[in-house]
Amino acid sequence: MSEDGLDPVIHTPARLRVMVTLAALPEGDDLSFTRLQDIIGLTPGNLITHLRKLADAGYVRMVKTAEGTTVSLTRDGRAALQRYTVTLRSLLDAAGQTPP
Amino acid sequence: MGETAGTSSGPGTDGPGINHRTGTDDGPGMDPLSAADIMQQAQEHAKSELTVNRPLLLGGAGLFYLLAYGTVWLAVRAQQPYQGPPGWTLGVLTGLVLIVVLMLAAVLNRAVSGVGGQSRRRRRIAFLSVAAGLVAVWAIEGGLYAAGASIGTVDLIGASGPLLVAGLVIAAAAPAWKQWSGLGLGIWLIAVAVGSAFAAPATVWGIDALAGCAGFLFAAAIVSRPARS
């Protein structure tokens, strides 16, 4: 955890966007790497770097198939994002800032 | 998270001054407010990209029923005795089916492109179920015709059968999709299909056109309501 209690694996702009985008899918669904890239707007190299960090933490699952690579959020990842959101809200509340 | 925090972001940016197209490192640090802003933007963007436009889908289905069944009803309502839809209605119905299929593909494609897993399996099962149901309806019509049933009896199955199939599939799929308005719509369509079977052959088309359309439009209105927070 970082000083402010936010998970450092998630607490970067790109990885936060990846996590939030994957969390928008129902549990049990996955997203193709290319579609995720389209939505997030990262280059393939950038995206794979961030996905590997998330996969190393057990937050995302990458599966290579004949059609390409698919990415999905794991249960741990969903729980980590939930914790991140709660922590973020409490930090904003403590600072007297209104969340967007 | 609610409205945006007054930050601007252009294409390729991640919110407050963060360009996510550059750099493969962890990027610049974020304060909590920036993180909240990025989360909110990402949630909205993901929702717009990955959510099926259900009001449009349901509204389109309602209009299809109204136009398709309404066309047949207008063509047969004055028939005494009932002789069935004239040949030209087949052309109109074929055109409408093509339009609906193209519309369905356009609405679904953006939201489901690249999405796999359970949702894709459920979609395939639903489409296969509808296709199998429609084939079964046509087969039953053929069987009835071969057995010497009147054209009025055969068309009763032809008119209400597809509505019954659609209702059953929508109602059965609703719990899996967690779309409870779908359960109500499915039950309504089943009730309309069964209820219209007691009407005169020509009237069946009119009842199915109006009641089927009303059900779909009502469901479209329900799902288009903003979610309560």
ipTM of the complex in this document: 0.89
Report the range of poorest mean pLDDT among A23-32, A36-45, B23-32, B152-161. Answer: B23-32
pLDDT tens digits, one per residue of B39-55:
999 999 999 999 888 89
pLDDT band at A100 (very low <50, low <70, confident <90, very high): low
User: Which strand (E) or helix (H) includes residue A97?
Assistant: none
A20 pLDDT above the threshold of 90: yes
CA–CA dist A26, A24 (Å, integer): 7
Instruction: Say yes or no to pLDDT of B73 above 50.
Output: yes
Torsional sign, CA B30, B31, B34, B38: positive
Q: Given CB atoms, is A51 within the 8 Å cutoff of chain B? A: no
Long-range contacts of A79-86 (CB under 8 A, 24+ apart): A80/A7, A80/A9, A80/A10, A80/A19, A81/A10, A81/A19, A81/A20, A81/A23, A83/A7, A84/A6, A84/A7, A84/A10, A84/A11, A84/A16, A84/A19, A85/B39
- Asked if A96 reaches chain B (Cβ–Cβ under 8 Å), the answer is no
Q: How confident is the model at residue B12 (pLDDT cuts 50, 70, 90)?
A: very low
Q: Min CA distance, B166 vs chain A (Å)?
A: 24
Look at A70 and B36 and tell me if their CB atoms are within 8 Å.
Answer: no
pLDDT at B7: 33
Nearest partner of B49 among B99, B136, B120, B115, judged by Cα: B115
At A14 the pLDDT is 94
Highest mean pLDDT among B79-88, B111-120, B204-213: B204-213
Q: Which residues of B touch A100 (CB under 8 A)?
A: 1-5, 33, 36-37, 40
Q: How far apart are CA A66 and CA B200, in angstroms?
A: 55
Task: Indicate the DSSP class of residue A71.
Answer: E
pTM > 0.90: no
pLDDT in tens, A76-97: 999 999 999 999 999 998 877 6
A29 touches chain B (CB under 8 A): yes
Higher pLDDT, B14 or B124: B124
List A61's β-bridge partners, or say none.
Answer: A72
**Between B118-146 and B151-177, two packed helices, what is the crossing angle to 10 degrees?**
170
**Predicted pLDDT at B159:** 92
The answer to whether A87 and A5 are in contact (CB under 8 A) is: yes
Q: Looking at the domain covering A13-90, what would its CATH class be? A: mainly alpha
Give residue B6's pLDDT: 33
How far is residue B23's CA from residue B80's CA, in Å, rounded to a whole number?
77
Domain segments of chain A: what residues? 13-90
Rounded distance, CA A96 to CA B13, Å?
Answer: 27
**pLDDT value at residue B9:** 37
Cβ contact, residue pair A13, B27, below 8 Å: yes
Chain B interface, best mutation among A7, A29, A70, by max B CB count within 10 A: A29
Query: Which of A9, A25, A62 best probes binding to B when mutated, by most B CB atoms within 10 angstroms?
Result: A25
**pLDDT for B14 beyond 60:** no
B32–A4 CB contact, under 8 Å:
yes
pLDDT in tens, B201-215: 899 999 999 999 999
Asked if A26 and B49 come within 8 Å (Cβ–Cβ), the reply is no
Cα(B36)–Cα(B1) distance, integer angstroms: 7
Using the Cβ of A99 and the Cβ atoms of chain B, whether some distance falls under 8 Å is answered with yes
pLDDT higher for A5 or B116?
B116
